[in-house]
Structure 1
Amino acid sequence: MTQSLRNSEGNYVGPGDVKDQRKGGRAADIYAARAFRDFGDGFAAVLLPVYLAAIGLGPLEIGVVATAALLGSALLTLGIGFLAVRADRRILLMAASGLMVATGLAYTQSSTYALVLLVAFIGTINPSSGSVSIFVPLEHAVLSRLVADAHRTKAFARYSLLGALAASVGALAATSPDFLVTTGMSRLAALKAMFVLYAALGVAGGLTYARIPAGPKTSPQEEPAAALGPSRVIVYKLAALFSIDAFAGGFAVQSLIALWLFSKFGLSLSTAGVFFFWSGVLSAVSFPIAAWLSSRIGLVNTMVFTHIPSSVCLIVAAVIPSRDAALAFLLLRSALSQMDVPTRSSYVMAVVTPPERPAAASVTSVPRSLAAAASPAIAGALFAAGLEAWPLVICGALKILYDLALLWAFRHIKPPEER
C-alpha cells in the first residue's frame, strides 16, 4: 500500500499538496461548474450531428467527426492528467473553460469538413455520455483537496448527482432550436445560437473555477519526479479492471437496450422515452445512497455488492418473457448499477497520493472510454445474427467477473477513512 505523510487531521498528503483548511472549502464551486458544463454537454451532444447534417455533412463524415471528438477528448484527458502534477489545477480548469468557449464559437464558424474535424479533435464537445473530458481529472483532484477524507465520497456523490441532473435538463434543452424557428429564425441560425450558449456556459464555468482557492506553491525540490509515482501499480491495476467493466458495459449501452426493447417487445417510442427518463432518475438518486452505504460497509464493498445484483437483474431481464417484468428488472438495475460511480471516483482519489490524483483520474478513465468503444460493434453483430439477448447476458456475466476480481485484488487496500 502507498505510504505518504499525514497532516494534523490524519488525512494523507504528499509533497507540495495539502488539504485546504478553510471552513467549508469551495467544493460548491466545483459542483456549480460541473452543472454548467454538463448542461452544455447535454444539449451539444444531441445537437452536434443535427448541426453537422445541416451544414452538409453526410452520415459517414458525421461518424468520422464523432470518432475524432472521442479520440481528441481521450488524448486531452490523458495529457492534462500528467501536466497537472506541476501546474496550478485552478488555472488549468480556467484554461479548459477557455477551450470550451473557443469550441462553441468555432463550431458556429465551421463550414468545411476539414475545419469541423479539427475543431472536433481539439475541442471539448464529446458526443458520448461518458465521463472522459479534459475537466474530469482536474475536478477530481481539486474536489479531493477541498474536502476532508471523511466527506470525500459524499462530495463525489453530490458531484455526480448534480452532473447527471444537469445533463438531463440539457438534453431537454436540445429542443430549443425548434422553438427559435417559430420566432422567425432560420434552423441553421437556431442551431448556431445553441453553440453560442455552449460558449457562454464555458464563460460561466471559468468564472466559477476562478473562485476556487489556488493550489499550494511548490519548490522545484518538492515537485514529484513523475505524475505517477508510488501508487503506479495500484493505478494500473485499477485501470485494467475498470476497462473490463467498461468493455462489458458497451454490450448494453442505452441505444442497444432501446433496440432490444423495440425488437423483443415492440415498445413504442413514447413508452421507451418514459422508461429511460425514470431509469436516469433512479441512477441519479442512487449516488447519495451509495455515499451513505459506503460509510457503513466500505467503498470497495459498495462497488461490488451493488454491482453484482444489478448485473443479475440485467441477465434476468434478458431472458424473462414478460415485458413488464423485464422493464421492472431493468429499472431495478438502474437503481443499483451506477452506485459505483461516486464510490469509484472517491476510491481512486483515496488510494493515491495527492500529487498523483490528476494522473490517476486520467489513467483510470481514458482506458474505460476506449474499452467501451469496442463492444457495441460486437453487440451489433450478435443482434444481426438473431442473438438479441446475448449482449445483455454477456454484459452481466463479464461485470460479475469484474466485481469478483476487484473485490479479490483490493479488499485489503483501504482508504484513510476506513482504517
Structure 2
Amino acid sequence: MSPAARLLIAARALRAFGDGVVALLLPLHLTALGFSPVQVGALTTATLLGSAALTLLVGLVSHRLAPRALLFAACGLMLATGLAFAGVKDFWVLMLVGFVGTLNPSGGDVSPFLPLEQSLLAHAGPDADRTKLFARYSLTGSLAAAAGALALGVFDRLGRGVGLDGLQIGRGLFLLYGGIGLAVALIYRQLPKIAPEAEPPRTPLGPSRPQVLRLAALFSLDSFGGGFIVQSLLALWLFRTFGLSLQAAAAFFFWAGVLTAFSQLAAGRLAKRIGLVNTMVFTHIPAQLCLIAAAFAPNLPVALTLLLMRASLSAMDVPARTSYVMAIVTPAERAAAASVTNVPRSLASALSPSLAGVLMTASPFAWPLVIGGGLKIAYDLALLGLFSRVKPPEEQASA
C-alpha cells in the first residue's frame, strides 16, 4: 500500500475503535440518565440527521477546499462532541450536540470523514486494486469497531473495580472518544501533500449524475432499513428482551465485528468472479433472512447464533459498494459521488431509529428486526434489477 493509504486506514481504525465504544455505550449511558427507549431512539435519529447534514456540507465544499482542512475540522468536531457528552445531562442539549457532532450510534461509519477518506483512498492505488484496497479499509474499520465494543466491557469492569459508577465510567469514555479525535488529527497531519499540478481534479457531479442519483436512492432504502437495527438499538433490544449483561454484550458485538471484518476480505475475490453488483446482492439477502429469523428466536442462544450468522455476511457488500460507486464515475467526480451517495443514506437511516424506539415501547415483539430486514431485501432486489448491466471498467475489460 502507498503511504497515504496506510495513513487513511490507520485513521479509520482509530475512529472505528471510538465508534465501537460509543455505539454500545450510548444506550446504557442514556438509560442511566433516565431516558426512555423513545428518547434513545430520538437522540439516535438526531445524531444520524446531523451526520447527513455534515456530509452534505462536505459534498458542497469538497471541490473548493483542501481535503486535509476538512478532515482537521471534522477532528475538532469529534473532540467537542466527546467533551459535551461527558459533561451534559439535559436531554435537549444532548439532542443538539448529537445533531451537530460526530457521534455514530450505528457501529459502522456514518460521518463526514467517510466521503473525504473514500475519495482520497480511491486515488491511492491502481484501479485493479481498488476493491481490495477498500476491503482492507473496511476490514480494519470493522476489526477496530469490534475491539472497541469488547473494550467497553473491560473499561466497565476496571471502572467498577476502582469504585466508579456507570455514569462516571460513561463520562470517562466520552472523554476518550474526544481524545481519539485529536489522535486522528495527528495522523492526518502526516498525509503526503499533493502538488497542485498532480492533485486529482475535483468537480461537482456531471456526466455520472443520473447513475449516482439512482444509486443514492437505492442506498437510502437500504439505510432506512438499517436504521431500525443500528447497533445501539440492537443492543437495547438484547438488554430488554433477554437481559443480556454488558460484559456478554461486549463479547457478542466483538465477535460479530470480527466475523463482519474478515468476511469483507472475501469481497474482492468474490467480485472478480461474479461482479460487484452480484457480490452485493447475493451476500446481503441471506444476511437479512437471518436477521428476520432472529426476531422469532425462542431464547438468547438462538438469537445470538442467527445474529452472528448475519454478521458473517451482512458487510461483504460494503467494500464492493464503495468500489462500484468510485468505478462508474469519472475520477474528478469521486468526492462528490461519495458525498451524494452517503448523504441520502445518512438521512434515511436517521428516520427509522425513532420509529424503532416507538415499536420497542409499544410491543415486546422484535418488529424493528423484521421491518429492517424486509426493507433491505427490497433494496437488494431493486439494485440487481437496475444495475446488473452497468459494469465497472475492470468488468467490461474482462467481459
What 5-or-longer segments of structure 1 have no aligned partner? 1-22
Distance 1:206 1:138 in 2: 14
The residue type paired with residue 358 of structure 1 is: A
Q: If the length of structure 1 is used for normalisation, what is the TM-score?
A: 0.78
- The runs of 5 or more residues in structure 2 that have no matched partner are none
Match status 1:245 vs 2:222: yes
Match of 1:336, SS?
helix
1:217 corresponds to 2:196: yes
- Pair 249,95 (structure 1): closer, same or farther in 2 beyond 3 Å: closer
Matches within 5 A, 1:19-418: 24-48=2-26, 58-59=35-36, 65-108=43-86, 110=88, 116-175=94-153, 176=155, 179-180=158-159, 182-183=161-162, 190-215=169-194, 217=196, 224=203, 227-253=204-230, 255=233, 259=237, 276-314=253-291, 329-375=306-352, 388=365, 392=369, 394-418=371-395
Change (3 A) 1:192 1:378: closer
Whichever residue aligns with residue 305 of structure 1, its letter is F
8 Å CA contact 2:16, 2:109 repeated in 1: no
Q: Offset of 1:290 from its aligned partner?
A: 1.1
Kindly indicate which of the two structures has a greater share of residues assigned to helix. Answer: 2
Q: What is the SS of the residue equivalent to 1:26?
A: helix
Per the TM alignment, residue 91 of structure 1 is displaced from its structure 2 partner at its CA by: 2.4
**What is the deviation of 1:236?**
0.8
Q: Is the 8 A contact 1:252 1:392 kept in 2?
A: yes
Residues 216 and 342, structure 2, Cα contact 8 Å, conserved in 1:
yes
Residue in 2 aligned with 1:5? none
Partner amino acid for 2:182? V
Contact 1:25 1:147 in 2 (8 A): no
AA partner of residue 161 (structure 1): L
Identity %: 52
Q: Is the 8 A contact 1:302 1:339 kept in 2?
A: yes
Deviates more, 1:172-181 or 1:36-45: 172-181
The residue type paired with residue 415 of structure 1 is: P
Rounded Cα–Cα distance in structure 1 between residues aligned with 2:235 and 2:29: 26
Which residue is 1:19 aligned to? none
Task: Provide the rounded CA distance (Å) in 2 between the counterparts of 1:63 and 1:300.
Answer: 32
Q: CA RMSD in A?
A: 3.7
Which amino acid is the alignment partner of residue 91 of structure 1? A
Structure 1 contact 85–355 (Cα < 8 Å) conserved: no
CA contact (8 A) 1:57 1:113 kept: no
Please identify, of 275-284 and 147-156, the stretch whose mean Cα deviation from structure 2 is larger.
275-284
Following superposition, the deviation at residue 294 of structure 1 comes to 0.9
Instruction: Evaluate the alpha carbon distance shift between residue 77 and residue 32 of structure 1 in structure 2; reply closer, same or farther with a 3 A threshold.
Output: same
Distance in 2 between residues matched to 1:75 and 1:405, nearest whole Å: 26
TM-score (norm 2): 0.81
> What is the rounded CA distance, in whole Å, between the counterparts of 1:205 and 1:367 in structure 2?
26
Deviates more, 1:200-209 or 1:364-373: 364-373
- Count of matched residue pairs: 390
Deviations 1:69-97 (A, max 9, x none): 33222201111122111221122212222
CA distance in structure 2 between the partners assigned to 1:90 and 1:145 by the alignment: 15
Cα separation, partners in 2 of 1:62 and 1:401, compared to 1, 3 Å:
closer
Query: Cα deviation per residue 1:179-214 (whole Å; 9 max; x = unaligned)?
Result: 245446687665443333223222221111122223
Paired amino acid for 1:169: A
1 CA distance for matches of 2:294 and 2:168?
44
1:399, 1:345 → 2: CA distance? 17
Q: Distance in 1 between matches of 2:371 and 2:50?
A: 29
Based on CA coordinates, which of the two structures has the bigger radius of gyration? 1
Per-residue deviation, residues 327-363 of structure 1 (Å, max 9, x unmatched): 6554433322211011111111111223322222222
d(CA) in 1 for partners of 2:243 and 2:29? 29
Amino acid at match of 1:31: I
